[in-house]
Amino acid sequence: MRHEDVLQALLELTPSKQAHVVAQWPGLTGQTPEGLDVTARTRKELRRLLAERDPGMLSWIEGFEPGDVFYDVGANVGGVTLAVAGLHGNQVTSVAIEPSVASFESLARHLSLNKLLGFVIPLQIALLDRTGIEKLNYNSTAAGYSLHAVGEAVDHEGRPFVPAEVQLIPTYALDDLIETLKLPPPTQIKIDIDGYEESVLRGATRTLARGSVRSLFVEVVDHDRRGTRLASVSEILAGAGFELVESFRHGEEGTGYVSDHLYRAR
């Protein structure tokens, strides 16, 4: 049986049965929609790697141009980073940023498996509006999970939680990161970090002002159901010369309270 057939059969199982099969067969392999090889050790990791890209996201990354520098802030196991590499090869340089140990391991493993480390830079750090060492409070230590918290153990909706584990992690303001490591300045930025969008943008003042960034794709969780966080993100970006041009709400028929927003330089 082909790997593709096995993976399709697996995805048709219930989540609990998927978890059991993957636990018994941790070497399960397949290919992303862009044709890159992947391996899965958990159900969550498998879904992250093989998921079809959202149409809004896919259209955005398909529009990247040769010479672009893509920053994937909150890369998780690398689904979007892999998609960009699969679509554009070494014509686009990527910087993939992910603080979680297990998700970062998956990201780095797949970059190595697909011979992408020559033009994708993986960094196991967190981005904030400050540079230093902070506590990373894990929602789960397994690959593919999100909703971790940096600093206090408070989730994206302001609720305290008991972390599965606490790790001391290097944190950077994006401005400091680029200047310290002499990274190529970004032209395209994706931000998916579960409530830390404003902090990351405040730490990127010089980066956004230098004129290299052409667009940002930002996921926003409407934590108070009043659009407060989106308004704040849009205000910060408007002050930096960016305008909101399109929004994509998650959930069936766009009913969810999580949404993606595309901003372009004026």
The tokens for 88 are 């554009």
Amino acid letter, 223 = H
User: Is 35 a member of any domain?
Assistant: no
User: Is 177 a member of any domain?
Assistant: yes
User: Is 46 a member of any domain?
Assistant: no
127-183 per-position pLDDT tens digit = 999 999 999 999 999 999 999 999 999 988 889 999 999 999 999 999 999 999 999
Q: What is the pLDDT at residue 44? A: 84
User: Is 8 a member of any domain?
Assistant: no
More confident residue, 137 or 227: 137
Provide the pLDDT confidence category of residue 226 given band limits of 50, 70 and 90. confident
Distance, CA of 10 to CA of 191 (rounded, Å): 30
Domain count, the chain: 1
77-128 per-position pLDDT tens digit = 999 999 999 999 999 999 999 999 999 999 999 999 999 999 999 999 999 9
CATH code at position 69: 3.40.50.150
224: Cβ contacts below 8 Å, ≥ 6 apart? none
- Whether the per-residue pLDDT at 254 is higher than 70: the answer is no
User: Is 143 a member of any domain?
Assistant: yes
Provide the pLDDT confidence category of residue 1 given band limits of 50, 70 and 90. low
In which domain, by residue range, is 65 found?
Answer: 51-265
Q: What is the pLDDT at residue 249? A: 86
Q: How many Cβ atoms are within 10 Å of 180's Cβ, its own excluded? A: 11
